[in-house]
Amino acid sequence: MQKTFIDEDRFQSLLTNIPSPSPAVVADVLKKGRELKGLTPEEAAILIHVADQSFIQEIFDTAFHIKNTVYGGRLVFFAPLYISNFCVNNCRYCGFRAGNPAPRKKLTIDEIREQTDCLIRMGHKRILLETGEDAGNNPIDYVLDAIDAIYSIKNEKGEVRRVNVNIAATTVENYRRLKAKGIGTYQLFQESYHRQTYENVHYGLKGNYLRQLYALDNAFEGGIDDVGMGVLFGLYDWRFETLCLISHASYLMDKFGIGPHTISVPRLRPATAVNLAPPFPVSDSDFLKLIAILRIAVPYTGMIITTRERPEIREEAFRLGITQASAASSTAPGGFKKETAKESGQFELSDKRSLDEITASVMKQGFMPSFCTACYRRNRTGAVFMELAKPGDIHEFCAPNSVLTLMEYLEDNASAESRRLGMELINKSLEGIENPSVRNETEERLVRIRNGERDLYF
């Protein structure tokens, strides 16, 4: 069997042969974490073994500290846009699997434009395009046309400014074409790094473990410098998967000089025509612990939570390191327009609140909703982004940009209550901008936005 960067034996032994760590050892690991130096899988394994509640609280406090230092209080929102549920694969957990006899739906380009129009009216500026794998029904040209269609829509509430893409592993040439279309992040989840588990739940083209494992390498080869990884938690032991995510991130860093832009942490959800109970269910407390450990281990990688999770878990996760969240989602092609929302989705959602309800609730928590897309449009991606993020310089741009995009949202989409909360937050954030010229410029731009200008960013 080909040797890969996932050393199963090493990780399994880290999880089975470690005695409960002493307070001094845990303190050393957390100190390194606080210094934003990241963690090796060995160090992360030490935190995994912490069981004492007061030490777990210290892990959470460290994660919170790192989140605040690197990202401030910002939370970036996006929505998934499912364009087709045709799929040739038969992943045992997924409502789109080929074995589900339900009728399929592939959006026409006009329907993609309509869906985009709905999302813009809610206030979204970032879209994650998703589709099943089916070269016949969803060829790459269809995906590329869909991206063009999304970027082409502008209405009185604005436009989509960044399209991220989550489609099946593909060729270097196709990645090159996606990059040329102006995508933001290319996301692909390994689902499980545990090979036997992976092969037990995947059938069809996706059943090839190595194709999935090296897909992000191919994306880099194709010129995409902004990739997202993830695990479908519940398929296998979360502790093993967490070590593998850390290892995958450092493998990409070593090979391409750029770590992943994001890590997603989906937990397995019920879905139509799926009878797979999670073989390794992840409890809420373990879920929060793994988020905190990842935050400490890869401090410069954004972390994504979706509407698969309940509002109260999302709120806790925001404190522990999540930087991006989906909101007001649908996992059915056509799901954003009542007349076309006939299909059932890929899986069940747990947070069904509107974007306005979600933004209001995070503002009450003290977080700053952001719809910013500036870095990618200013070419601050890949290695350039990493260089800025590392010393924390990214704050210079992110803080004012989040204020400006929140102001647009308040002007164009928010309820009266959200507007009140948002204005309070904007005033407080302005006080936190240390550089006086950046602060002045931000204040001037806020006035310009209130006077009708849009899309002002640093």
Cα–Cα distance for residue pair 199/190, rounded to 1 Å: 12
The partner in contact with residue 226, picked from ligand SF4, ligand SAM, none with C-beta cut-offs of 5 to 8 angstroms by kind, is none
Handedness of CA 13, 16, 22, 28 (dihedral sign): positive
Distance between CA atoms of residues 242 and 44, nearest Å: 8
Q: Which is nearer to ligand SAM, 146 or 368 (CB)?
A: 146
Residues lying near ligand SAM in the complex (CB under 6 A)? 93-94, 130, 132-133, 166-168, 188-189, 191, 206, 232, 266, 268-269, 271, 274, 308, 346-347
Using CB under 6 A as the binding rule, whether residue 395 contacts ligand SF4 is answered as: no
Partner in contact with 266, chosen from ligand SAM, ligand SF4, none, beta carbon below 5 to 8 Å by kind: ligand SAM
Give the shortest CB-170-to-ligand SF4 separation in angstroms: 12
Chosen residue from 21, 41, 132, 228 binding ligand SF4 by CB under 6 A = 132
Q: Looking at beta carbons only, is 264 or 418 nearer to ligand SF4?
A: 264
Lay out the site mask for ligand SF4 across 151-190 (x = CB under 6 A, - = otherwise): -----------------x----------------------
Instruction: With beta carbons less than 8 A apart as the criterion, state whether 410 and 423 touch.
Output: yes
- Cβ at position 222, least distance to ligand SF4 in Å: 20
**Measured torsion, CA atoms of residues 449, 452, 453, 456, in degrees rounded to the nearest 10:** 30
* Interface with ligand SF4 (CB under 6 A), residue from 111, 133, 316, 408: 133
The verdict on 229 binding ligand SF4 (CB under 6 A) reads: no
Q: Least distance in Å: CB of 268 to ligand SAM?
A: 5
261 touching ligand SF4, by CB under 6 A: no
Burial of 331 (0-12, 13-18, 19+ CB in 10 A): buried
Give the x-and-dash track for 74-93 against ligand SF4 (CB under 6 A): -------------x-x-x--
Nearest to 374 by CA among 299, 458, 436: 458
CB of 349 to ligand SAM, least distance (A): 10
Q: How far is the CB of 259 from ligand SF4 (least distance, A)?
A: 24
Of residues 277, 270, 271, the one with CA closest to residue 201:
277
CB of 130 or CB of 356, closer to ligand SAM: 130
Closest CB to ligand SF4 among residues 78, 96: 96
Site for ligand SF4 contains 97 (CB under 6 A): yes
From the CB of 267, what's the least distance to ligand SAM, in Å?
A: 7
Would you tell me which residues interact with ligand SF4 (CB under 6 A)? 87, 89, 91, 94, 96-97, 132-133, 168, 206
